[in-house]
Amino acid sequence: MSVTEAVHTRAHVDLAERARRVLPGGATHASRTYDPRIYVARSSGSRKWLIDGTELIDYTMGHGALLLGHAHPAIVAAVQEQVARGTHYGAAHPLEVDWAELIVSLVPSAEKVRFTASGTEAVMLALRVARAATGRDRIVKLQDHFHGWSDAVSPYLDGEGRTRFPVGVPEALGALTTVVRTDDPAGLESTLAGGDVAAVIMEPSGAHYGQLPLDPSFISAARAACTAAGTVLVFDEVVTGFRVAPGGMQSVLGITPEISVLGKVMAGGLPSGAVAGRADLLELLATTIAHPGTFNANPLSAAAGIATLQLVADGAPQRTAESYAVTLASEWTAALASAGVPGTIRRLSSILHIFLGDPSAQARIANAMRAEGIDILNTSAFCSSVHTIADLEQSVTAFARAIVAASTPN
């Protein structure tokens, strides 16, 4: 059965109806609100299966968390073994130490690590640490950069350069969060020159894991300006950490922040986040900052995280995923050219970003890809170390059809 047929089966339609009754918008995540909704029952390797058994090639890959693919045998074994030993001890346990040691050994900024339950929480904690360390309240973020959904990092600039606040985020936060444009290094320097900014937070890949690349000279300038102003530089490596290289984007750039925020790959597809940074800053968590969190370093996430980090430590899975992405990017680029569809494919390591020239085609591409049996995350495709030649061939054919469908008004 095709995905288009599958989503119209009674079972899918019934689930969508039940979902609308109990979940706002029938959804659980801002990126999973598309219709027709798909309901996935199982996943393995590069594939996932809908409730009726229809198969898709997956490039959402756990929103980027699954560098090693779905249900990697080593991760499954680690989690199975741990679940039987208990999922929460309400006490320290050996795995949290092993996990932190692995992170310290891989991530340049990581002298010490504090675990959280998500990337969003890790961002909140990183900012708290920076504020505590500097005694300053203001933070700076970059236009378009995404750091999860907490209030402090939600303001953005509109077309006229005015600060805007998503619904539910108080405008009073404008006094604490300054949004700086990424084409304006001088603006960043002058904002920091006042000496009242606790932290600059950025995605070192550029906004949305490389959708809008950031000039490395901007990052170097930010590094220097932070040092000069006594401001804490925070790299949000929730997506790039362990994926673009074992040491993340900071190891690729050769620029080390005071604090890195981690998530996704670090826990092999289970929930977690972490703040990994300079020892004296992290030690504030042992003195002046109280940081609870029921699921911090929970044994299940720790077991999955350790199994994952051991496998990715030598960089081999990252290289495999990246070389797959290189081929896929060139095949998709060729497909655009031969179909005469305006657009480009941008790549950061194993992540591809689709840009179609026509905005309505861009808005339709994910649904068009799903109709062809390929699931992408909005307009991005996360490749894993287990995507195969068969996946590649199918993904190229599907993309060639999807770009035409997306470009054709209904």
Ligand X SMILES: Cc1ncc(COP(=O)(O)O)c(C=O)c1O
Binding residues for ligand X (CB under 6 A): 63, 118-120, 123, 146-148, 203, 236, 238-239, 263, 273
Closest to ligand X by CB, 146 vs 332, is 146
How many residues are present in the chain?
A: 410
Q: How far is residue 32 CA from its own chain's centroid?
A: 15
**Going edge to edge, which strands form the sheet with 138-142?**
112-116, 273-277, 259-263, 232-236, 197-202, 138-142, 177-180
Closest to ligand X by CB, 43 vs 260, is 260
Closest to ligand X by CB, 237 vs 391, is 237
Minimum distance from CB of 265 to ligand X (Å)? Answer: 11
Minimum distance from CB of 112 to ligand X (Å)? Answer: 20
Minimum distance from CB of 237 to ligand X (Å)? Answer: 8
Closest to ligand X by CB, 12 vs 353, is 353
Strand partners, 140: 178, 200
What tokens were used for 367?
Answer: 């649904």
CA distance 252 to 161: 32
- Is residue 242 within 8 A of residue 312, CB to CB? The reply is yes
Minimum distance from CB of 146 to ligand X (Å)? Answer: 5
The residue sitting closest to ligand X, measured at its beta carbon, is: 119
Read off the amino acid at residue 295.
Answer: F
**Hey, which bits of 72-193 come out as E strands?**
112-116, 138-142, 156-157, 163-164, 177-180
Write b or e for each residue in 286-301: b if 16 or more Cβ atoms lie within 10 A of its Cβ, otherwise e.
eeebebeeebbbbbbb
Closest to ligand X by CB, 138 vs 147, is 147
DSSP letters, 270-296, are: SS-EEEEE-HHHHGGGGTT-----TTT
CA distance 251 to 353: 22
Closest to ligand X by CB, 6 vs 376, is 376
Closest to ligand X by CB, 269 vs 273, is 273
